[in-house]
Each structure stands twice: as structure tokens, then as C-alpha cells.
Structure 1
Amino acid sequence: MDENRKIYVIGHKNPDTDSICSAIAYADFKRKTAPGNFIAKRAGQINEETQYVLNRFQVSAPGYLSSVYTQVRDVEIRKTQGVEESISLKKAWGLMKESGIVTLPVTSKTNQLEGLITIGDIATSYMEVYDSRILSTARTQYKNILETLDGTMVEGNPHAYFIKGKVVIAATSPDLMEDYVEDDDLVILGNRYESQLCAIEMNAACLIVCEGAKVSQTIRKLARERSCQVISTPHDTYTVARLINQSMPIKHFMTRENLITFTTDDLIDDIKDTMARKRHREFPVVDKRGVYIGMISRRNLLNMNRKQLILVDHNEKSQAVDGIESSEILEIIDHHRLGTIETITPVFFRNQPLGCTATIISQMYRERNIEIPVRIAGLLCAAIISDTLMFRSPTCTAEDRAAAEYLAGIAGIEDLPTFAHEMFRAGSNLNSKSPEEIFYQDFKKFNVSDVSFGVGQINSMEQSELEEIKGKLIPYMEKAFQEHDVTMMFFMLTNIIDERTELICYGGSSKELAAEAFGLAGDTDSMMLEGVVSRKKQLIPAFVTVLQQ
């Protein structure tokens, strides 16, 4: 395993205290027991109760992960070096051949992407250009000509530009040159003194002297006086004529407009369609500021690295972070019923019928004889108290209680009931919260026998708080129902002290389902469920039994 590869440890959407604290703790456990860069993440907003716990033990909240779809950043990006727009076509061709690529990115001094030059563009410059003035139209620098022709600057400035005139070959006698050599032309010629002199007197901008022929001092002096560049090349006239167009700068042929670029944040599913429509071999990748990063091709998508995850406190697809089907799940640590998560390969799956995922993680520390840090112990203890409603929930087991008491000793929690009361009060202090924030504080979706439904829950130690919450929630239920692709919606208002839940029903046959599940009259929008405090252990199993009949 790559020790630098990020592996995200993450709980469910709308995370509760167990989901957040277990993610933090299990990431710590994995860092101490396995190679890899394990990072705790969250798939939703932190609720008030959980924030109280994090503040109490001075632990930062995990970073938010909105989705785990495979992105361009997860693909191997070819780090093709950008080139300046002034380099010659010949140099561009050489770089492509050397690197085995067909596209070169053209970048500025600040690495901003300015364009692309492809083998096809270079071929076009050879096969489709018949204009003898193309060299000056492209504003070709003399240093490019020198480089292309393996030449030597006999007279002139290599940094100057050929900006007027045409390219001509002086293959005839000096007398006939007057018929076709004009001001500012670039003249390709041999060692004939008379031809060189004639070209300079006709105000040529540049002489290309072939086959390494020597240039006399008289010609050099006259060229200097007339500001005529003189270049000597070892190649013959035919070779020079064939190579000269390769000296043009790539900026004249590169593509500048309507570039198809991707950013590292783009989703692979989105760019696949673009790649299929535009049959380019390679596509540039830039950051949000347009700074060039590298190139990718369709071939790179075959070896993309899916995001690697460890799931805690859930194994239902509907509860998982968006894009879960695109990720690679390595482990699942949970205490719920088996859900709908599917994995690509076999995974480590630890699922125990306990009241809290944190209890399982506590066991794993002790099984490996690893000391539990004080802050981690505090988080795990708080998670157990939260999920078991201070041991009142029917999901609570002797192992949960024992683990909480053991962890409290490490964390320095001297009075568990007082700590629990403070934590629950923080969680139910929702006066400043909007109905939407309250609703999604602890909301999960379920799929049973092709029936989908959502269940939210709020716990409080005071009935008056629950009544206030109810007044805010009932008007909001319709909006929440319309936002989700479910057939029924429920919300549990749970009184921890009285150990009972008022169940609000909305949509479809929600009232009939709740009535049949708990043997009550189904003619009201809310029902009082005595002794029911657990969504996982009491409400969901009762619904499942009815739906599967």
C-alpha cells in the first residue's frame, strides 16, 4: 500500500456523535496499526451535541467531504513541460518525438496555459502552406532560423525578427535576380560573390549562405552598413529550402481559442463525454486560476485511482457520502443491520450487535494492546453515551456500559450522568436553529422491499423542548418530503428521561405503517410510542417486519 495515498475514514450523512467520533478514533487507530495516510472526514454538518463533545475534548472537527466521485486529480496526469510560444516548429517536433507525445502545451512565464500545438498543426504547416511570405507573416526570429539550419550568424542580431518580404532562392545569374528579389526578402544562395552583392544592393533583409561557404569581408561590411543579416549554414540549397519553414514560431500555428481544458476537481464521469465527443489525443489540466498542471488522455482513465474509504457507523448506500459507488471501500466498522453497500473487492467488515460503533473501536484498541489517547477516549465515551441514551436504549449492551466506564476513567470524566446531561442539553438546545437544521441534525434514509422512507430523530431530556421542536418541524415536513425521493417520512421526538417517542408521520401510507407496526390507531399524524427510544433497534425493525410481510 502506498503510504502517501489518502484513505478517508468517514461516517454517514447528517452525522451524529458516534459517526464523527468513531471516524476520528478509527483514523487514529489505523495510523498506529497499518501503513497509509488515514484521514477522518465527515459527510455532513456537525450537530450541536457533537460540537459540544469536540470542544470539551479540544479536538478539531473532521474536514467536510461532499462526495467521493473519481476526479481528474485521481488520474495519473502526465507532467508534460510547457513550452514558450516563440520556439520553432522544429524544436517542438523534436520535443514531441523525444517524449513520445503528440501535443505540446504552450505556457507563459507564469505557467498560464496559452495554447496547444499538435503534430497535426506541424503537418499542416508543411503540407498546406504555399505562401512564400509565411516566414515573415509568422514574425520568425533569426535565432530560430539559426537553430533550424544549424547556422552561424555572420552579421546581424540573432534576436531580431524577419517581419517583411518573402523567401526566395537565388539559383539564377545576378542579372535575373533583379526580376524577383525585392526589398526585405530573405535570399537563399551559394558562394557566388556577385549574387551575394546583388541581393544586398537590392535591400534584402537576410542572406542564407549555403554549404558553409565563406563570406568575404567586403560582403560583411556592406551587409553591416545596409542592416542585412547574414547567416552561414553547412546545408545545401535544397536542404535549406526544405527546412526553412520549420524555423517559424509555433505561436503562428498553435490553437489559442476554445481550448478544451479540465481542472483537477472535474469529475471523471463528466469529462468522459467530452473526451468521446472531441477526438483529441490529449487534454490539458489546469487549476482554478488557469495555471497549467499537465496532460491526460483517454488511456489514463483506464488506470484511475478511485478514492479509498473506510466506512464507520453505516453500511446503507442511501446514508453514505455521494459517489460511494465510484469509490473503493476497504473496511466497514458498524453496528447496524446489513444494508445495501456493495464493494468491488472483499473487505474487512466488522459488524457487532452493540449499541455503538465506538464500543467496537474501543475493543480494537484493547485487542491490539494499544494505549487509547485521553482525547480519543473522551470522544469514544461520549459516542457511547449518545448512541445508548446514557444506557437507556434497548440497543445498549453490557459491553457498551463497560466500555463507556473504562473510557471515562482514561478521559477523566468523573461523573457520567452529569456529563451526559450536559451533552444532551447541548444537543437539544435548538432555539436558534431553523426547521431545516433541526430536521437534518440526525436524518437517515432506508430502503426495504422496494419501499423507501426517511426517519429523523431528536433526543431531549425535557418534554417542553420537544414540544417547541415539534411546532417547528410539522410545517417543514412537507418540504422535506418533496426534497427526497421517498414514499414516506417520519420524525422521532424522543424523551430520554420518560423513555418514549412521539412519532410524526407524513406521506403515503406512513400512518398505516406506524399503526400496524406498533398496534396503534392510525388516524393521527403523530403517535406516542411508549418505551421506544431507538431508531435502529426498535423503530426500523418494526417497520421492516410489516413491509416484508
Structure 2
Amino acid sequence: MDFRRICTGTWFGLFNEKVRRCRLDCIFFWRILMEKIYVCGHRHPDTDSIVSSIAYSYLKQQTDEYAIACRLGPCNEETKYLLNRFDFDEPILLEDARVRLSEISLEPAISVHKDETIFETLAKMKQHNQPFISVVNHQNKVTGMITRNDLADIGLGDTAFGIDLLKNVSLDNICKTLQGKIIVRDDQMKLNGKVSIVALSKRLSADYEVKNRIVIIGDDPISQKHLIQKGAGLLIIVWANSVEEDVIELAKEYHCPILISGYGSMNTSRYLFFSPEIQTVMKENVMCFYEDEFLEDVAKKMSKKRYRAYPVIDSENYLTGYILKDHAMSYKNKSIILVDHNEFSQSVPYIERATVLEVIDHHRIYDFYSKEPILFRNEIVGSSSTIIASLFKEKNVNIPKKLAGLMLGAIISDTLNFQSPTTTQKDLDMAEMLEEISQLNMDEFAYDILFINSESETKSVSDFLKEDVKSFDIEGYKVIIAQAVIPSFERLNIIKESIHDELIRYVRKKNCDLVCLVFTSIAENGSYFYNEGKIAEWIENEFPLVNGQPPYMEKIISRKKQIVPIITQIIQKNV
């Protein structure tokens, strides 16, 4: 047996394991340092909006970008069904385009307990190379803060400050700071905060005032007894391993505690002033920031203060980290990619504060601007998932089987099973490609999706107004168009009496000029428009009511290609 070969193999095995672990650590820290990119669809997301964010995030991740799929509202039942079927989690909810403290890298949440000593606090600052630290109470909630500069006053400031600190210091804290050993403990210990260092005989120290003082003395039993008799408040003995019994008995008689220091006289005298509890010197009522605060607001507040760092706490006042003034003043906006929309009015609130990197969309281009050139891909197709599927193909990135199934479902949903006039040959081609990858039967799959939509029979009008809803600015008028795909118009016979009142409430709530609730049936190849608002009469003048109900709009099923252009034309005609 070749012993060298065994050793070499073992060594290489260990080496490879270390390399593997190092690589994993590097990946972890690389992801922390990388800029987050949020990929989000529009408000009131439909299936294509949610799936596009998931699919494009995955594609960006394959090209070494830290992309995160987001949603701007709850998923509808159809989307939930598809996500569950293909084992995908819902994207994270993005409520605001502004940067919150919880979304950035903070300084570590290092803290000390209020009962810890100043010495321990300084040691922890040094250990973590952090010149500031929060002080927490027994519930681990922030009660104060201290900086290294604040503590410099103890060693460099007026001696009166140090004297005040030592008046109420505990024997245990002194012992802990000096790494010493308590020889005599006395509950009646009285200290005036003053410190004397003496190493004199009885004859030479006869006139020395030590009453209630902390006295540092060497291994000199005669002087020790003399100082006890003169009323020393505490005897700290240096360069000694033990204390003679007669000294101990005398100390008990005079109520003078004794401890042996672990340091020499110089360090004992220095460290002694760092033995009080940190709560005696901490800054109280310190300004803290909550982790859900916006960074731009925090930066404004910090610009008016002198400290370089401030604690960040959660909703229960627990410390989560520190925000540095320099970081707050030089923060970067969120980086966002818009999919399945480009209009700011349909995007995440405060999108104008973010840095929009890309747009992948198949709708009209409106209400959009950018400060710098960006990648803007807008195609005349029936689904954003169609565009993203083609991007996988262009970049030669394989689409996982389950993701292919999810994307196929989105295309079927957005093209209304390819019945919508927005459907193009590219939609059909990409759908066939995804069908092959996912190993699904497209017709059977489409039927499953239609079956999910049949559950709309249990929904109310208010439910429909929460799902597939988009807001438009048309000639200065705020127009909201909600589309509900239903299996059959028989459902309208049940809810039509409540539609009018519900739309009136919705107009007041959204403060819009027109809300149009469109019920579409793929099977019956048409739609009904229900309108309310101050310009609703313009629509009704163009399409008069029949027996108090809107007329049937045959072959009108696409919001993007038919409904929006129709309403736009009517508004322009009346302006």
C-alpha cells in the first residue's frame, strides 16, 4: 500500500473541501455585495405580470445578476393555481420604490448590556472595530448609545468626572475590570470616588488623608493595616497573591473591603476608572431609526446631527444594526426592471425615485421617462411572457421544465387561449416551444386554466374590481378599466343589480373620472361594458343602454387592442 498516495489523496480531498467551502462563502458574500435588481409587473397583477417577473428574474440570475421577482398586489386565483401547480412561491410584495433601511446592508448589531462595565464596552468596540455601540436593557431593547470619543472624556477630561463615576461603583465590577480576587467583602462600603496610590510605611503615611478613598497599595502589611485604620474606603493590593490574616480581620472590623488586583499599580489605576457600569455614561434618548423608514428621510434627519452612526431598530425596539451617516448621504436608488407595463401610473408607488434599468412590455408606451438610456423592449405580441421566452432563446439559456409550464400558462391566460386579437404568430411559436419543454398538452392545459376561471361564479362585483385592473391617463382624465373573464354571461343576471352601486362607490374611493368594468366571455366571444363616473355618459352616448343595461359588444375581448382604443377615441371625440 502506497502511504504517500493515501496521504496525498486525503490532503487533496481536504483541500478540495476547503476550496468548495470557500467558493460557497464567496458566492454568499458576492450576493450580499451585488446590487439588488427588483423585477416587477404592474399593479393589480394578472398572471402574465407575475410570471414575467419570475421568468425574467430567473434569466437575469443566469447571467450573474442579483434579480428579485416582485409583485405589486395580491395574486388572483388563476395565478395562485399556476404557481402551486409548478411549485413556485409568490414573488415578494414591493410596496414602494424608495429604499428602506431594511433593504440595505447595515453595520452589525453589536450592543452591550447596561450593567456591563465601561471596560467591557471598550473591549467589545475594539473586538468589532466599531467606535460606537448601543446600550440595551434587560429586555434587550435600546436605551442609550456611547461612542469611543464619549469615553475619551474619562481618561482625558477633568478628574471630577472620574471621581463622580467611582462614587457608586460596585466591588464586583472593580474586581471584574481588574481581573482580581475579592478578599474582604463588605456591604457598608463607602467611597468618595477619589483614588490614592501609596506604598509608604506607617511613619511616612501618618498625615496622608485616605478616608473613604480607594487606595492602591503594594504587598506591605504594615501600611495596609495603617490605611485601614485611617478609614480607607477600599484597599486594592497590587503585586501580591495573598493577604495576611491579621490584615483581613482588621479590614472586617473597620468595614474596609480588600481585593487583589491582577495588574500592577499603573494599569490598576488606569483601568479602575473604567469599572463603572456603561449606563452611567451612555447618552440617553438617542435618536434611533426604524428599519421600515425610508433612507431618503433618514438622510435628511442625519444631516442635521453630529454623530456618524445611529441605531436601527425593528417595530419592537430590538436592535437590527447601524446606519452610517456617510452611507445614508450617498445612498443609491432602487434598481428596478419593469415587465408587462411601462406607464408609471401602473407601476410601484414612487417609481420616479428609482433607477429603471429595463422595460419588457407589449402595451402602449405612455407616461414613461428615464434620465439615462435604458434597454426598452416593446413588441407587438399578446403576452410579455412571449417576449421573455424569446429572450431565453436569444441568450441560449435553457428554460427549466416547470418554469416553461408556468410561462405557457401565462401566454394562454393573456391571449385568452389565443382567441384575443392581440395574438401573433410569435405567441403561437413560443407557446409551442414551451409546450415541448414542459411536456404538457396545450389544449388540456388551457382547459384546466379555464376551469379555474369558472370559479368566478362565486365572486362579487367588488372582487372583480380588485383583480385585473389598470389605470390610464387619457387626455388628462383618470380612467380605470377592470376586466373580468367569465365562462358565461349568465353570471351577469345574478350580479347586474349590484354593479351600478358598487361602481359609484369605487369612483368615490379612487377619485377617478371613469371606471369601466368589462365582463368578457371567451366562449361567447364578446364583452359587456359597465361604466360609471363623470364622463360615463360619453360612453353611453356612443353605445346606448338597452333596457337599462349596456349593449353586447361582439368580438371585443382585448383590453389592450380593442377596449382601450375604443374608450380613448370616445374621450378624444368629446374633449
Kindly state the Cα deviation for residue 99 of structure 1 after the two structures are TM-superposed: 7.5
Give deviations 1:242-264, integer Å, cap 9, x for gaps.
885444332212245x4433343
Contact 1:374 1:410 in 2 (8 A): yes
Inter-partner Cα distance in structure 2 for 1:215 and 1:410: 83
Q: Which of 83, 91, 103 is the equivalent residue of 1:54?
A: 83
Contact 2:169 2:275 in 1 (8 A): no
Find the residue that maps to 2:357 and give its secondary structure.
Answer: strand
Inter-partner Cα distance in structure 2 for 1:91 and 1:49: 58
Residue 363 of structure 2 is aligned to residue 336 of structure 1 = yes
Q: Which of 532, 540, 543 is the equivalent residue of 1:520?
A: 543
Counterpart for residue 299 of structure 1: 326
Kindly state the Cα deviation for residue 423 of structure 1 after the two structures are TM-superposed: 2.1
Residue 558 of structure 2 is aligned to residue 534 of structure 1 = yes
Q: Which of 360, 364, 372 is the equivalent residue of 2:387?
A: 360
Give deviations 1:208-230, integer Å, cap 9, x for gaps.
579x8999969856666655426
Find the residue that maps to 2:565 and give its secondary structure.
Answer: helix
Residue 105 of structure 2 is aligned to residue 76 of structure 1 = yes
Counterpart for residue 435 of structure 1: 461
Contact 1:135 1:162 in 2 (8 A): no
Inter-partner Cα distance in structure 2 for 1:499 and 1:531: 5
Counterpart for residue 16 of structure 2: none
What RMSD in Å do the two structures reach over aligned CA positions? 4.1
Rate the CA distance shift 1:263–1:477 in 2: closer, same or farther, 3 A. Answer: same
Inter-partner Cα distance in structure 1 for 2:402 and 2:446: 17
Inter-partner Cα distance in structure 2 for 1:62 and 1:460: 26
Kindly state the Cα deviation for residue 104 of structure 1 after the two structures are TM-superposed: 2.0
Q: How does 1:26-175 map to 2 (within 5 A)?
A: 26-32=56-62, 34-79=63-108, 81-89=110-118, 92=121, 103-107=132-136, 113-118=142-147, 121-122=150-151, 126-127=157-158, 129=160, 132=163, 134-139=165-170, 141-143=173-175, 146=178, 156=183, 164-168=190-194
Report the more deviating stretch, 216-225 or 351-360: 216-225
Contact 1:75 1:304 in 2 (8 A): no
Q: Percent identity?
A: 28
Q: How does the TM-score come out when normalised to structure 1?
A: 0.81
Q: Which of 394, 398, 423 is the equivalent residue of 2:449?
A: 423
Contact 1:358 1:384 in 2 (8 A): yes
Residue 399 of structure 2 is aligned to residue 372 of structure 1 = yes
The one-letter code matched in structure 2 to 1:139 is: S
Give deviations 1:441-497, integer Å, cap 9, x for gaps.
100111233322111011223110234344443321122212224222111112323
The one-letter code matched in structure 1 to 2:287 is: I
Rate the CA distance shift 1:496–1:428 in 2: closer, same or farther, 3 A. Answer: same
Q: Which of 475, 479, 486 is the equivalent residue of 1:449?
A: 475
Give deviations 1:281-305, integer Å, cap 9, x for gaps.
3211234554433221332213435
Inter-partner Cα distance in structure 1 for 2:478 and 2:87: 39
Inter-partner Cα distance in structure 2 for 1:80 and 1:59: 33
Rate the CA distance shift 1:382–1:101 in 2: closer, same or farther, 3 A. Answer: closer
Q: How does 1:493-504 map to 2 (within 5 A)?
A: 493-504=519-530
Inter-partner Cα distance in structure 1 for 2:419 and 2:241: 103
Contact 1:85 1:106 in 2 (8 A): yes
Q: Which of 372, 378, 384 is the equivalent residue of 1:351?
A: 378
Rate the CA distance shift 1:56–1:193 in 2: closer, same or farther, 3 A. Answer: closer
Kindly state the Cα deviation for residue 40 of structure 1 after the two structures are TM-superposed: 2.7
Rate the CA distance shift 1:253–1:527 in 2: closer, same or farther, 3 A. Answer: farther
Contact 1:102 1:281 in 2 (8 A): no
Contact 1:142 1:162 in 2 (8 A): no
Find the residue that maps to 2:57 and give its secondary structure.
Answer: helix
The one-letter code matched in structure 1 to 2:81 is: Y
Kindly state the Cα deviation for residue 337 of structure 1 after the two structures are TM-superposed: 0.8
Inter-partner Cα distance in structure 2 for 1:301 and 1:113: 21
Residue 348 of structure 2 is aligned to residue 321 of structure 1 = yes
Inter-partner Cα distance in structure 1 for 2:108 and 2:457: 53
Inter-partner Cα distance in structure 2 for 1:377 and 1:169: 78
Rate the CA distance shift 1:58–1:254 in 2: closer, same or farther, 3 A. Answer: closer
Find the residue that maps to 1:66 and give its secondary structure.
Answer: coil
Report the more deviating stretch, 19-28 or 261-270: 261-270
Inter-partner Cα distance in structure 2 for 1:305 and 1:358: 30
Residue 486 of structure 2 is aligned to residue 460 of structure 1 = yes
Rate the CA distance shift 1:489–1:139 in 2: closer, same or farther, 3 A. Answer: same
Inter-partner Cα distance in structure 1 for 2:484 and 2:446: 15
Contact 1:223 1:230 in 2 (8 A): no
Find the residue that maps to 2:322 and give its secondary structure.
Answer: strand
Inter-partner Cα distance in structure 1 for 2:334 and 2:347: 14
Counterpart for residue 275 of structure 1: 302
Give deviations 1:400-456, integer Å, cap 9, x for gaps.
23333443344344362x543442342242243343222111001112333221110
Q: How does the TM-score come out when normalised to structure 2?
A: 0.78
Matched residue pairs, number?
531
